[in-house]
Amino acid sequence: MRELIKPATFFLLLALMAGNAVAEGQEFYKGNDEGWFWYHDPEILPEPEPEEKKELPPAPPPPESEPSESEPKGPPSFSVQWFQENMEQVLNRAIDDPSDDNVAAYFFIHRLMMDKANKFAVTARAVAMDNPQLDERSRATPGGAADRLQDKQKLIILESLTRRINEADGAIWFWFGDDVYSLNQARVLRGLRNRTGIKIIAFSVTGKPPQGEAAKWFPDYVVDSGSAARSAGVSNTPALAMALPPDKVQLLSHGLVGRSEIEKRMIIAGDRLGIIESDEMDIYQGRNPGAGLIDPKQLSEIEGNDTDEILEVMGEMFGY
| 29 occurs within a structural domain | no
Tally of structural domains, the chain: 2
| 318 occurs within a structural domain | no
Q: Are residues 219 and 275 in the same domain?
A: yes
| 307 occurs within a structural domain | no
Q: Are residues 113 and 231 in the same domain?
A: no
Q: What is the pLDDT of residue 309?
A: 87
Q: Are residues 106 and 216 in the same domain?
A: no
| 8 occurs within a structural domain | no
| 67 occurs within a structural domain | no
| 38 occurs within a structural domain | no
Angle, CA 210 vertex, CA 209 and CA 214 arms, to 5°: 140
Q: Are residues 174 and 265 in the same domain?
A: yes
pLDDT tens by residue, 277-290: 888 888 887 777 66
Q: CA-to-CA distance for 262 and 241, rounded, in angstroms?
A: 10
Q: Are residues 188 and 228 in the same domain?
A: yes
Which of the residues in the chain have pLDDT under 50? 1-42
pTM exceeds 0.75 = no
Q: What is the pLDDT of residue 41?
A: 45
pLDDT tens by residue, 150-161: 788 888 998 999
Q: What is the pLDDT of residue 126?
A: 87
Residues near 279 by beta carbon (within 8 Å), at least 6 away in sequence: 289, 290
Sheet containing 239-244: order of strands: 222-223, 200-204, 171-176, 239-244, 248-254
Q: Are residues 159 and 84 in the same domain?
A: no
Q: What is the pLDDT of residue 47?
A: 59
Q: CA-to-CA distance for 170 and 311, rounded, in angstroms?
A: 46
Q: What is the pLDDT of residue 133?
A: 77
Q: CA-to-CA distance for 115 and 107, rounded, in angstroms?
A: 12
Q: What is the pLDDT of residue 57?
A: 64
- Nearest alpha-carbon partner for 218 in 197, 240, 238, 203: 203
Q: What is the pLDDT of residue 39?
A: 36
Q: Characterize the bridge pairing of strands 239-244 and 171-176.
A: antiparallel
Q: What is the pLDDT of residue 70?
A: 61
Q: Are residues 83 and 159 in the same domain?
A: no
| 153 occurs within a structural domain | yes
| 15 occurs within a structural domain | no
Residue 259 belongs to a domain with what CATH number?
A: 3.40.30.10
Q: What is the pLDDT of residue 44?
A: 52
- The residue range of the domain holding 239 is 144-284
Q: Are residues 109 and 202 in the same domain?
A: no
